Amino acid sequence: MKRKLLLTMLLASGFCAANAQEKAKPEDTEVYSPVPPEIKPGKKCGEAPSDAIVLFDGHNLDQWVMADDRNAPAKWTVNKGILTVNKQSGNIETQRTFTNYQLHIEWQVPSNITGSGQARGNSGIFLASLGKGDAGYELQILDSYNNKTYTNGQAGSIYKQFVPLANPTLPPGEWQTYDVIWTAPVFGSDGTLVFPAKVTVLFNGVLVQNGVELKGPTQYIGTPAYRQPHGASPIKLQAHGDKSEPLSFRNIWVREI
Ligand code: MG
């Protein structure tokens, strides 16, 4: 008896579902609002789209300050449309702060680069700068063209957390691109972590980080962890202390998400 009842119920529910499907129209699932904003993409590869905040377009460092003294203008060199690291002056970071964003940045290891391992064309992008020194979440920049080092410290790595999925590094002297989608960590009102930071990175158009969830800010020594809650943060570029020739940057822009 019980089995017969169950069978009757199943048949009836199946019939109802099929009936509802017949009545559904294509337009039931068509969305007309909100309408995505119309923007103009960059004309050339790497050029900022119309709604981007341009952080460096070859002219000046108005958008940048010294990371160790946010009242001081950035002391890196701008020459012939290119920004070059000044290792003596230290890290620079944006005036503005950001939460979630899309970042485009191009970098070049000089063709006369010397050194090896981490001491060859080392710089980095701190996707959220958390104060002085190297504090923050570092997307590594390094000459990883025929240059061995630990894999979670090569170009395209989230330093000492995530090895890149591939190594598309071009030889020194060529321009390389990073396109980054950054989702900032979310902290509760009591300061505890609700959602970790998340990042996707395309390196010379190749996916190298696919929505990885960061374990915390970058740690040179020890295990990363979210120890301090924070909000919107600047984006910082690293003046690494190694003795190799300094890197250059161009076409830096960001779109807030
Ligand atoms: Mg670095």
pLDDT range class, residue 1, cuts 50, 70, 90 = very low
In the sheet that 69-73 helps form, which strands lie side by side, from edge to edge? 69-73, 64-66, 92-94, 236-237, 123-129, 136-141
Q: What pLDDT shows up at residue 54?
A: 98
**Separation of CA 27 and ligand 1 centre (Å):** 51
Q: What pLDDT shows up at residue 4?
A: 57
**Separation of CA 238 and ligand 1 centre (Å):** 6
Q: What pLDDT shows up at residue 13?
A: 53
In a domain, 4, yes or no: no
In a domain, 209, yes or no: yes
**Separation of CA 7 and ligand 1 centre (Å):** 65
**Separation of CA 130 and ligand 1 centre (Å):** 15
In a domain, 100, yes or no: yes
Region 189-210: mean pLDDT is 97
**Separation of CA 195 and ligand 1 centre (Å):** 25
* pLDDT over 90 (residue 22): no
Identify the bridge partners of residue 78 per DSSP, sorted by sequence position: 83
In a domain, 189, yes or no: yes
In a domain, 3, yes or no: no
In a domain, 152, yes or no: yes
**Separation of CA 131 and ligand 1 centre (Å):** 16
Q: What pLDDT shows up at residue 146?
A: 97
**Separation of CA 229 and ligand 1 centre (Å):** 23
Domain span including residue 165: 37-256
Q: pTM, whole model, 2 decimals?
A: 0.90
pLDDT one-digit tens code per residue, 87-138 = 999 999 999 999 999 999 999 999 999 999 999 999 999 999 998 777 999 9
pLDDT one-digit tens code per residue, 39-82 = 999 988 889 999 999 999 999 999 999 999 999 999 999 999 99
**Separation of CA 93 and ligand 1 centre (Å):** 14
Region 3-7: mean pLDDT is 54
> What CATH number does residue 247 fall under?
2.60.120.560
Whether a cis peptide bond, with omega within 30° of 0, leads into 34 is yes
**Separation of CA 124 and ligand 1 centre (Å):** 4
* pLDDT over 70 (residue 21): no
**Separation of CA 18 and ligand 1 centre (Å):** 59
Angstrom distance (rounded) from CA 172 to CA 37: 39
**Separation of CA 236 and ligand 1 centre (Å):** 11
pLDDT one-digit tens code per residue, 131-150 = 877 799 999 999 999 999 99
3-state secondary structure of 102: strand
User: Per the structure, how many domains does the chain have?
Assistant: 1
pLDDT range class, residue 2, cuts 50, 70, 90 = low
**Separation of CA 4 and ligand 1 centre (Å):** 70
pLDDT range class, residue 19, cuts 50, 70, 90 = low
- Identify which of 37, 58, 63, 41 has the alpha carbon closest to the alpha carbon of residue 50: 41
Residues across the chain: 257
**Separation of CA 221 and ligand 1 centre (Å):** 14
In a domain, 31, yes or no: no
Q: Is the dihedral of CA 213, 218, 223, 228 positive or negative?
A: negative
∠86-94-52 over CA atoms, to 5°? 120
Q: Are the C-beta atoms of 252 and 47 separated by less than 8 Å?
A: no
In a domain, 90, yes or no: yes
